[in-house]
Structure 1
Amino acid sequence: MGTLSAGSEGANRDSACLHAFGNIAEHWDLTVPEQCKLLGVDQAGVLHDWMVQAQAGDDVSLPEDVMEGIGCVLSIYASLVILLNHDRSKGWVRAPNRAPLFGGRSAMSLMASGNRKDLEDVARYLLSERYR
């Protein structure tokens, strides 16, 4: 039996995380530009190539900032499933929100602003709602 190097373990993790992100993106009907903004990826072709590799079961090694974006999205999704449920999470990300953080805008408009802090703020907001 072969041994895995630390690099391949990380690439396996990155592929699994990217695959999970792809499932959430599909469930939330994210556009490619929204996906790129959430992950901080400048070129849609790069994201597409990573997704194709991950879906094929190939190892993908992602930059740390992309993994951080995926982590935020996974946290947001997990919080929404706990607070609402899987099906209602889709509507929540697109609906106008009266909470002060959102100022009447949808969570998606804030999450996909291109500013990582906004994405992190949504994740923190939902975590705080979970523990109210």
Structure 2
Amino acid sequence: MATPLGLVLRTEAESVAAPSVHGEFGVFAGHLPLLAALKPGVVKYRVAGKDHVAAVGAGFVEAGPDKVLLLCDLFAQPKEIDTAKVQSELEAAEKELAGYGELYEGPRYEELQRQIDWCLARLQAKADNGSHP
């Protein structure tokens, strides 16, 4: 997985599940070539029989028979996520977004929606991490 800041995770995974703009998809060894747009959400991957999760922002994923490459704008592992801080960010963004009423447009509106999506992705990754032994 790579962000604009560089490579953030390199591992040999048995499977990868990622959130695309058209729903979640999974990739196993031998997968046919695939290119998809990512939406903010939780990436799940299995390494040596153990499940792992991470939050990712928007981006793209390229998969093939022996490799999956995720290029995303944001990335966070559960251990890096401060739930209280993210919850505070979420509440602030939702409060500002509520001020837009029914006017669903403009650059600031879109930025707030991206912030909300990123907050929700991190909270979900933190919650999902707790469900794995």
**TM-score tier (shorter):** under 0.3
Q: TM-score, normalised by structure 1?
A: 0.25
Higher helix share: 1
Q: TM-score, normalised by structure 2?
A: 0.25
Higher strand share: 2
